Amino acid sequence: MTAEREARPAGAPVRRGRGRRPADEVRAEVLAAAGALLLREGMAAFTIERVAQEAAVSKTTLYKWWPSRGTLALDGYFHAVESTLAFPDTGDIRADLTAQVRAFVRLLAGTSAGRVIAELIGQAQTDPALSAALLERYSGPRRDLAVARLRRAQEQGRLRADADPRILVDQLWGACYHRLLLPNEPLTEEFAARLVDNLLRGVAA
């Protein structure tokens, strides 16, 4: 930012210094830059330096908010995919779950997001700090959103009252992660739809 101020020719209009941008705005710009970089170039290219450069903030600012490269990557990832993965509530739990799990599969299988989250989960297996960040900043909040939607369906009498929504999360989105991380079988929208159908109807004859 110093460079930018120095570059202003004498007499040019005074731009509000970047240091004066409201913190929320800077934070949102950083997350957008981090998410875009991650989805465009993957974890290998993701460095604090690159994000600082693309968001035009100092590395010091980044480290103030994010203790590590991994936590910044996770927040950037969550920011990038959040809107795609909204949990609809039309009152029809079958349709809403099918739409949500289909959207999740499209994101994992049809965009670079799948590779990115697979690498983050992979790295977390031998990196306790990244693992803690992943649980707290990504999988925990995503679980909570799903559980909230499932609990509403229970309150509306659409799901059995004795079914544990936290377990349903593992049998829907967890099943998708299984095919992402161990791709013996393909991740398709048909798969997504059948996950929901199996779980709602049951498969006993």
Residue 155 CB, nearest approach to its own copies (Å): 11
Q: Verify binding: residue 9, its own copies, rule CB under 8 A.
A: no
Binding residue for its own copies, selected from 48, 85, 135, 145, defined by CB under 8 A: 135
Least Å distance, CB 156 to its own copies, is 9
Cβ count near 167 (within 10 Å): 12
| Nearest distance from C-beta of residue 163 to its own copies, angstroms | 4
Tell me if 185 contacts its own copies by CB under 8 A.
yes
Question: 96-111: b or e for each residue (b if 16 or more CB lie within 10 Å)?
Answer: bbbbbbbbbbbbbbee
Query: What is the Cα–Cα distance from 54 to 95, expressed in whole angstroms?
Result: 40
Give the shortest CB-123-to-its own copies separation in angstroms: 7
- Residue of the chain from 76, 139, 145, 148 that contacts its own copies (CB under 8 A): 139
Rounded to whole angstroms, what are the CA distances from 96 to 91, 143, 152, 157? 8, 16, 12, 15
Taking a C-beta distance cutoff of 8 angstroms, is the pair 187, 109 a contact?
Answer: yes
- Under rule CB under 8 A, residue 1 binds its own copies: no
Beta carbons within 10 angstroms of residue 170's beta carbon: 13
Which 86-115 positions form the footprint of its own copies (CB under 8 A)?
A: 94
Q: What is the dihedral of CA 71, 180, 172, 97, to 10 degrees?
A: 80
Binding site for its own copies (CB under 8 A): 94, 118-119, 121-126, 134-135, 139-140, 143, 154, 157-161, 163-164, 166-168, 170-171, 173-179, 181-185, 191, 194-195, 198-205
